[in-house]
Amino acid sequence: MGIRVFSTIIITAFTAIAGLSPAPTYADDTACQIDQGRCALDILEHEAQKIENTSWRDQTYRELAKLLVSEGLENEALAVLPKIETPDTVALTIRGIGVAAAEMKFDARWTEARYEALFTALRSAAEKIEHPPSYAIALTYIAMGQAFAGNNDGAWATAADMENDSLRHKAYGETAEIQAENGDASAAMKSIAFIDSLAYRNKAYVTISKILADQKNYQEAFQAAIKVDNPYKKAQSIQYLMNVRRHYDLKDHLENKE
């Protein structure tokens, strides 16, 4: 029995058990139309299985998982994770799944409950990583994905579970960056407040102040800048936001003059 036929039987059986309609399958690659995204993904998965180089195969699976999520097939994306052998690629795939899902937050079909289920599943997958650095990286990426999706409480809870101090501080800092980029300055400031290390906290305040200044949120940028507990870095942050404001004020003046 050929691999493609056997896979078809398995997929059909699984979907029947799940009470779902089986996805269309194709006897050969030429029968697939690219606007039928699922069949292209099926072909991609079949080709990934044939790749002998572990690194290349894992990378292909990583990208496949991201594409599956973008098609609304997060459960199929999660099923790809056990096929990846290298721990760091598992962590990166967890990141990819989380970010791809977060990018769908403007789709009404992606409800809070759906996100909660996905990030819970990603956390379960991360717990299976036996390589400590990769495990910590996976948790960082989950927290970032949760923040990107707007689940601040989930992001803070995930970061809090990290035992390594440096990586936990880094997770809070990167979560704050995403929150600031999303325009949620108050959440970003709360994330930074969780950081115990003065050095990491100062770095986060500087970064957040810059992000907010670039968004023309000058007062919020100033509030972050004055939190920096280092005279030189604080001065640099204040100078940066004032120069940004001056630049945009001058630009607006010239445009209005025209």
> What whole-number distance in Å separates Cα of residue 38 and Cα of residue 68?
8
DSSP-based helix, strand, coil % in the chain, nearest 5:
75, 0, 25
For the chain, the structural domain boundaries read 1-50
Main-chain phi, psi angles of 128, to 5 degrees? -85, -5
Residues 6+ apart with CB under 8 A from 163: none
- pLDDT for residue 213: 97
pTM for this prediction:
0.75
The mean pLDDT value for 30-41 works out to 75
- pLDDT for residue 37: 60
Widest pairwise Cα distance in the chain: 75
Residues in the chain, how many?
Answer: 258
The mean pLDDT value for 229-242 works out to 97
Answer whether residue 75 shows pLDDT above 70. Answer: yes
Q: State the chain's mean pLDDT as an integer.
A: 87
Q: How confident is the model at residue 78 (pLDDT cuts 50, 70, 90)?
A: very high
% of the chain residues with pLDDT over 90 = 69
Q: How confident is the model at residue 20 (pLDDT cuts 50, 70, 90)?
A: very low
pLDDT in tens, 119-160: 999 999 999 999 988 998 899 999 998 998 889 999 999 999
Structure tokens at 12: 């059909």
- pLDDT for residue 15: 39
pLDDT in tens, 169-181: 999 999 999 999 9
Q: How confident is the model at residue 38 (pLDDT cuts 50, 70, 90)?
A: confident
Q: 17 or 56, which is more confident?
A: 56
Q: What ranges make up the beta strands (E) of 133-239? A: none
Asked which of 26-40, 49-63, 97-111, 190-204 is least confident by mean pLDDT, the reply is: 26-40
- pLDDT for residue 23: 44
